[in-house]
Structure 1
Amino acid sequence: MASIKSVRIESIDILRGLVMVFMALDHVRDYFHINALMGNYPENLESTNIILFGTRFITHYCAPVFVFLAGTSAFLYGQKKTKGQLSKFLITRGLWLVFVEIVINNFLWWFDVSYGFIQLQVIWAIGVCMIVLGLIIYLPKRIILVLGLLIVFGHNALDGIVKEGDSIESLLWYMLHQANGFSLEGHFVRFSYPVLPWIGVILLGYCFGEFYKKEASVTLRKKWLLYIGISATILFFVLRGFNFYGDLSPWVYQETTEKTIISFFNATKYPPSLAYILITLGPALLFLYFIEKIKNGFTNFLLIFGRVPFFYYFLHIFVIHISAIIGLLVTGKDWKLMILDNNTMNSGMLQGYGYSLFTVYLVWIVIILLLYPICKKYMTYKANNKDKWWLSYL
């Protein structure tokens, strides 16, 4: 680590690395937990428990932090570029991410060469957000900040608008604010990450980059990290507590305290509600506040993953999916169950497939340890080959 020269901000990479490790846990659960592929969701109050829900909840930090820090990274990247150069980079990278989501990521998730189900997830959302940001950066930063705040705090006012069918108007609304999909010549395309609220998040992340400029005051930065982090977290409890505004699904008292807690913290992710954004980005900013001056073996471990996010994301999906196939072979089951095409997913063949939550955690730890040296080697290669422009897209 010490031999690699980098001007990157370590606390940001550490936070990104932390949520990426959590992300792997969620995806291991998707492929390994009992009946997870058949809809055994951690948010289902009929079948969940506090440990299973907690396993899911800590991974909620991934997408908001990814999108927010994508905006911050864009701002910092643009410090040595003209607006035109930054805009071109964001738009071309955004288009690249949309292509990669559709063609590569969907194959890695399903191993279905027919692409019967195309799911547009976080990579798609980041790509579209980058394209929009590439167009908006010409505006004054105060205007960008106001737009970001208006979208994040105001988009839940649109929750009552619900579209159906495959009209152009409906498809545009699915893309912007309503998680839904449409059929297209034997394929089903689902907008799992409607982009409007994520656009607000990336705009705020872009403005947040001001605190990390070279000339920025560390004292002032830490003051705002603490202030915004605490304020966002408190606001979550206020809005959520009174069910006043900020989430499509209000919490309700349940027959047990455990289920009531789950109901309270089960904020809407698709699309991300104001409550969801507050309870994820608020603590994330507090983490940045506390981690800024801390450097040890654990932070160095996280730093590796945080510096190669694109490479890590696609590698970890591939490794997890392959591991699930290996698990089937080892247990004497048909490995073709992990070819997740329409027949496999809809026939009930996966009913009863999966392992205990303990096994999920065990597999997660093994996969993270397996990915670490690979990511470290790639990080070193990337740091030592900054003249290769194409590496900025990977």
Structure 2
Amino acid sequence: MKAARLASIDMLRGFVIVLMALDHTRDFFGLAPFQPEDLSQTTPGWFMTRWITHLCATVFVFLAGSSAWLRGARAAADVPPDARPALSRYLLSRGAMLLVLEWTWISFSWQFGYNVTIFQVIWALGAGMIVLAGLVWLPRWCSAAFAAVLLFGHNALDGWQPGGLLWQALHQGGFYPVAGNYGFVFVYPLIPWLGVMAAGYAAAPVFRLPAPERQRKLLLSAAALLAMFVLLRTWNIYGDPAPWSPQNKGFAFDVLSFLRVSKYPPSLQYLCVTGAIGLALLAAFEHVRQVRPLMLFGGSPLFFYTVHIALIHALAGVYFMVRYGATPTFIGGALKLPDGYTPSLATTYAAWLAILSIMYGLTTLWQRRPNLGSDVH
């Protein structure tokens, strides 16, 4: 039973890795002079290509918290006191390693230079592990309370934007200048993501339950989150700084407006709808045969993430040079696309499939190396 549960976690993690690769492929191969979620310019195809990838960060961070609990609890009902020092040390060291990785190789991979230091999902994971290293010393209900306060309360701070390094890192996000043109780019402000990781830690005992009870709780939780999203969104009550509204462009665009929740920072509504989908998929993956590529990617998420951005960036550069004789550039903060280029979803999806094929081969070789197993934990 335990193996099946862990297999479903790897399947879900692998699934969202595949979606993540689609989003990053779009970033490089599908550059467009508009944001995919800009309802005044986008199409349903571009919008949904972006929207479905919202699932990735929520699942990654939640499962990282759950994996921490599973690592410490092993076969026990909870993390025993004598296991907490080792778990705390592991989370501190792992978190610090992820921060260094984000600020060095990952930031470089996005730019092939070092004009800014980027704080994205690896930063959120690393910082979350460091915070979790302290929470493991407390009763698990403290992690649940910590998560609830951050997740339900952070949108109350949306109207307060004092700026400053600390507040941008915690909630506001954006560019923080350091010297000249160099600065920090906070894409993933921490407050809500720390809440998601703590929630994953607090909820992890569900994975020790018998399969029928576990699946029932996962589906009930998914239904509750979806109902909360629909309630909050329908009446624009609370939980997202960008309310939905009729678009006067047909029913499809009204639906897109309803779905257009805020990711930077992630709103409560964003976390509700992506969390609902993630939990439902987690239950569903226990009823399907294991898919080799998803299990492979889900078992080595850090390797995949570390390699795939630079790979996509390099291949996109080759593609643009061969086809258009120039690469996209930013001039004065504005995107300049090569002459003759038009954004294409077909090209984006074809490139995505090619990237997945290459990463399948590379990840297979990585897992075949001696004395190397999963990097899930």
Q: Which amino acid aligns with 1:309?
A: P
Answer with 21-30 or 79-88: which moved more: 79-88
Q: 1:367 corresponds to which letter in structure 2?
A: I
Instruction: Tell me the residue number matched to 1:357.
Output: 345
Q: Which residue of 1 aligns with 2:6?
A: 9
Partner Cα separation in structure 1 for residue 184 and residue 158 of structure 2: 22
Equivalent position amino acid for 2:365 in 1: K
Task: Tell whether the 8 Å contact from 1:75 to 1:206 is kept in structure 2 after alignment.
Answer: yes
The answer to whether residue 357 in structure 2 is matched with residue 381 in structure 1 is no
3-state SS in 1 of match to 2:50: helix
Does 1:346 find its partner at 2:333?
Answer: yes
Question: AA paired with 2:188?
Answer: Y
1:321-370, Cα deviation, whole Å (9 max, x unpaired): 11111102321513xx36x6xx6573654366554111101110111112
Q: Is the 8 A contact 2:242 2:262 kept in 1?
A: yes
Other structure's SS at 1:331 match: helix
Question: What is the aligned partner in structure 2 of residue 306 from structure 1?
Answer: 298
8 Å CA contact 1:32–1:354 kept in 2: the answer is no
Partner of 2:41: 47
Relative to 1, partners in 2 of residues 1:346 and 1:181: Cα closer, same or farther, differing over 3 Å?
A: closer
- What pairs up with 1:166-205 in 2 under 5 angstroms? 170-186=164-180, 187-205=182-200
The 5 A counterparts of 1:134-213 are 134-164=133-163, 170-186=164-180, 187-213=182-208
Structure 2 unaligned regions, length at least 5 = 75-81
Counterpart code for 1:294: V
Q: Distance in 1 between matches of 2:5 and 2:112?
A: 35
Given that 1:67 and 1:198 are in contact with CA atoms closer than 8 Å, whether structure 2 keeps it comes out as yes
Contact kept? 1:93, 1:393, Cα under 8 Å: no
Question: Using the alignment, how far apart are the partners of 1:393 and 1:110 within structure 2?
Answer: 27
Q: 1:23 is matched with which residue?
A: 20
The one of 225, 237, 240 equivalent to 2:218 is 225
Match of 1:294 among 247, 266, 288: 288
Q: Aligned with 1:292: secondary structure?
A: helix
Deviation at 1:58, TM superposition (A): 0.7
Give the letter aligned to residue 12 of structure 1. I
The answer to whether the aligner puts 1:119 opposite 2:107 as a matched pair is no
Deviation at 1:183, TM superposition (A): 0.9
Letter of the 2:158 counterpart: D
- Closer/same/farther in 2, CA of residues 99 and 354 from structure 1, 3 Å limit: farther
Helix, strand or coil at the partner of 1:118? strand
Is 1:105–1:314's contact at 8 Å kept on the other side of the alignment?
yes
Q: Percent identity?
A: 37
Name the aligned partner's letter for residue 231 of structure 2. Answer: V
What is the root-mean-square deviation of aligned Cα atoms in Å?
2.1
Alignment of 1:217-256 (within 5 A): 217-256=210-249
For residue 233 of structure 1, what is the amino acid of its counterpart? L
Structure 1 spans left out of the alignment, 5+ residues: 1-5, 165-169
CA distance in 2, matches of 1:208, 1:308: 23
How do residues 250-289 of structure 1 correspond to structure 2 at under 5 angstroms? 250-256=243-249, 257-289=251-283
**Residue 181 of structure 1, CA deviation:** 2.3
Go from structure 1 to structure 2 and tell me whether the alpha carbon gap of 1:158 and 1:347 turns closer, same or farther (over 3 Å shift): closer
Q: TM-score if structure 1 supplies the norm length? A: 0.88
Q: Which amino acid aligns with 1:239?
A: L
- 2:300–2:363 Cα contact (<8 Å) kept: yes
CA distance in 1, matches of 2:254, 2:13: 31
Residue number in structure 2 paired with 1:368:
356
Conserved? CA contact 2:30–2:343, under 8 Å = yes
1:252 & 1:231 partners in 2: Cα distance? Answer: 24
Q: Does the CA-based 8 Å contact 1:230-1:283 persist in structure 2? A: no
- CA gap of 1:286–1:392, structure 2 versus 1, over 3 A, is closer
Residues 346-355 or 315-324, more deviating = 346-355
Whole-Å separation in 1 of the counterparts to 2:51 and 2:283: 21
| Aligned-partner SS, 2:369 | helix
Q: Count matched residues.
A: 365
TM-score with structure 2 length normalisation?
0.91
Cα separation, 2, equivalents of 1:351 and 1:90: 45
- Identify which range, 138-147 or 352-361, moves more after superposition: 352-361
Report if aligned partners of 1:45, 1:259 keep a CA contact under 8 Å in 2. Answer: yes
Any conservation in 2 of the 1:19–1:61 contact (CA below 8 Å)? yes
SS of residue paired to 2:217: helix
Q: Which letter does structure 2 place at the counterpart of 1:372?
A: Y
Q: Comparing 148-157 with 372-381, which one deviates more in the overlay?
A: 372-381
